[in-house]
Amino acid sequence: MATIKPFAALRPQAALAGRVCELPYDVMSSNEAHALAAGNQLSFLYVSKPEIDLPKGTDIYAPRVYAAGRERFQRLIREGAIRQDAQPGFYLYRQILGQHSQVGIVAGASCQEYLDGFIKKHELTRVDKEDDRVRHIEAVNAQTGPAFLTYRTVPTLDAIVAEKTAGKPDVDFTAPDGVRHSSWAIFDADTIQRIQAEFARLPCLYIADGHHRSAAAGRIFRKRSGAGESATFLAVIFPHRQMQILPYHRVLQDLNRLSADTLLARLGEVFEIRPGGPAQPERPHQLGFFLRGQWRSLTFRKSLLSAPDPVDRLDVTLLQKLVLQPLFGIEDPRTSKRINFVGGIRGTGELERLVKRGEYACAFSLFPTSIDDLMAIADAGGLMPPKSTWFEPKLRDGMFCHLL
198/194 Cα distance (integer angstroms): 6
The better pLDDT of the pair 151, 309 is held by 151
8 A C-beta contact, residue 353 and residue 288: no
pTM over 0.75: yes
Predicted local distance difference test score (pLDDT) of residue 256: 97
Please, what is the average pLDDT of the chain? 96
Question: Residue 344: is its pLDDT beyond 90?
Answer: no
Q: What dihedral do alpha carbons 136, 137, 142, 143 form, nearest 10°? A: 100
Which domains does the chain show, CATH number per domain? 4-243+392-403 (no CATH), 248-367 (3.30.1760)
Residues 7-35, mean pLDDT to the nearest whole number: 95
Give the mean model confidence (pLDDT) for residues 315-324: 96
**What pLDDT shows up at residue 385?**
86
Do the Cβ atoms of 133 and 213 come closer than 8 Å? yes
- Residue range 229-233: mean pLDDT, rounded: 97
> In the predicted model, is pLDDT for residue 323 greater than 90?
yes
pLDDT digits (tens, 9 = 90+) for 89-138: 999 999 999 999 999 999 999 999 999 999 999 988 889 999 999 999 99
**Is residue 198 predicted with pLDDT exceeding 90?**
yes
pLDDT of 204 reads 97
Q: Which pLDDT belongs to residue 386?
A: 82
16: confidence class by pLDDT, cuts 50, 70, 90 = very high
Residue 27, pLDDT above cutoff 90 = no
Q: Predicted confidence band at 1 (pLDDT cuts at 50, 70, 90)?
A: confident
Q: What is the 3-state secondary structure (H, E, C) of 307-357?
A: CCCCCCCCHHHHHHHHHHCCCCCCCCCCCCCCEEEEEHHHHHHHHHHHHHC
